[in-house]
Structure 1
Amino acid sequence: MTRRASFYWRFFGRPVGRLGKVGRRLMVRINARNYASMAQALELRPDDDLLDVGCGSAMLLAEHAKRARHVAGLDASDLQLDVARQRLADRLAAGTAELVKGDVAALPWADGRFSVVTSMFCLKFVPDPLKALEEMFRVLRPGGRAVVALCDRLRDEKASGKRDAWGQWGWNATDARLLMEKAGFAEVTSSVIGSPASQLVQGVRVA
């Protein structure tokens, strides 16, 4: 990993230390509009069991928790999870929420555990996005939905060989839909959220 990529990873991908705290606060400000778009698209029901992959400090998960029966979040950053535990303290105490440190490519839940899986700009930091999507598909029950926010802001940088410098994937909507379908999802759609650089891709587990 280049020095520049390492900086980006520590700042946004897996925030640690003082630099990570700055990155966490910046992510919340940048994504506020996208969080609202995601929450609106979900139309959660009171009997939904939801997993947020790459939950960060649980800004989005806290909104989900107002509508879903049970919420779970997974992240790789201790710093982010510490904040998430404070934000979801009441739900955690009630047993209607759980937070786990782990790997998006090896989700620690049984097949068919959730009715909804979300992920907000997490896959750009994942070495094997297809494996992560396959894991999301696995933990969904038949009829369940995955709603994934992706950034194609860097697609031009990817094409020009600059992707490694920033350490993240630059996808467009077509890339994302094809990858979702390859992971097993049906009825895959995409729409722009927040800005033209952000895509909300949705898919259903039929069986």
Structure 2
Amino acid sequence: MATKLMKALDVAFGHPRGKVGELGGRVMAKVNAKVEAHAVDVLGPTADETVLVVGPGPGVGLRLVGERAFKAIGVDPSEVMLDKARERCADLIVASRVELREGTAARTGQEPSSVDAVVSVDNLQVWDNRPAAFHELFRVLKPGGRLIVSAHRWALGVSEYDLIKEAEAAGFTEVRTSLQQHGGMIPPAVQLFANVPA
């Protein structure tokens, strides 16, 4: 029974696909909206910056970034989520403010030192290889770039200390975490902040 439940949750939220993935996307858009908005506010994208959004899911945070940054680039391994994000950000895509493509945290498809900031909300727990992902995100960030990763604490499966060490091993500096309470039914989120040396 537990295995069936885990598979169903993975199809809905972990690696969304099919009709169940579409339903999962609608749930994510509602449940994660405050977390997405907070992460984007803390990131503070500016009108001259290019921001990589890792795992934008249904596109709530991607849209917020696209409205503020010069360009938001979303990479997600789920075609279902890419479709939902395209729908949500259609006008920004037409205006060349948002770009979407298939990819993962460990394989973004970005050129080295090509983005000013990276933000990822509620998908760290499904990164296949966290150390490789941190190295990739360090690679694509410009000198002086910044990273924010937010994930529901209950879903992490790893200590905050381990996350900090993995980010530092990739070259990030000023790595720190904080616990963000969003109230109501939304579980607390661990946020990791890191910088690339200028």
What does residue 200 of structure 1 align with? 191
Structure 1 stretch displaced more, 109-118 or 176-185 = 176-185
Are 1:107 and 2:98 matched, yes or no?
no
Structure 1 stretch displaced more, 64-73 or 100-109 = 100-109
SS of 2:137 mapped into structure 1: helix
For structure 2, the residue ranges without an aligned partner over 5 or more in a row are none
What does residue 45 of structure 2 align with? 44
What is the CA distance between 1:18 and its match in structure 2?
Answer: 2.0
Structure 1: distance between partners of 2:106 and 2:6: 21
What is the CA distance between 1:36 and its match in structure 2?
Answer: 2.2
SS of 2:194 mapped into structure 1: strand
TM-score under structure 2 length normalisation: 0.90
What does residue 6 of structure 1 align with? 7
Structure 2: distance between partners of 1:39 and 1:181: 23
Are 1:89 and 2:90 matched, yes or no?
yes
What does residue 159 of structure 1 align with? none
For structure 1, the residue ranges without an aligned partner over 5 or more in a row are 155-168
Matches within 5 A, 1:1-207: 2-154=3-155, 169-194=156-181, 197-207=188-198
SS of 2:23 mapped into structure 1: helix
Assess if the C-alpha contact under 8 Å between 1:191 and 1:201 holds in 2: yes
Structure 1 residue ranges (4+ consecutive) displaced by more than 4 angstroms after TM superposition: none
Assess if the C-alpha contact under 8 Å between 1:34 and 1:194 holds in 2: no
Structure 2: distance between partners of 1:3 and 1:85: 30
Identity of aligned residues (%): 32
Structure 1: distance between partners of 2:117 and 2:51: 5
Assess if the C-alpha contact under 8 Å between 1:58 and 1:87 holds in 2: yes
SS of 1:66 mapped into structure 2: helix
Structure 2: distance between partners of 1:18 and 1:11: 9
Structure 1 stretch displaced more, 112-121 or 10-19 = 10-19
What is the CA distance between 1:134 and its match in structure 2?
Answer: 1.0
What is the CA distance between 1:182 and its match in structure 2?
Answer: 1.5
Residue type at the aligned position of 2:34: R
TM-score under structure 1 length normalisation: 0.86
Residue type at the aligned position of 2:179: V
What is the CA distance between 1:68 and its match in structure 2?
Answer: 0.5
CA RMSD of aligned residues (A): 1.7
What does residue 158 of structure 1 align with? none
Structure 1: distance between partners of 2:38 and 2:81: 22
Structure 1 stretch displaced more, 17-26 or 133-142 = 17-26
Residue type at the aligned position of 1:178: K
Residue type at the aligned position of 1:76: P
Assess if the C-alpha contact under 8 Å between 1:10 and 1:19 holds in 2: yes
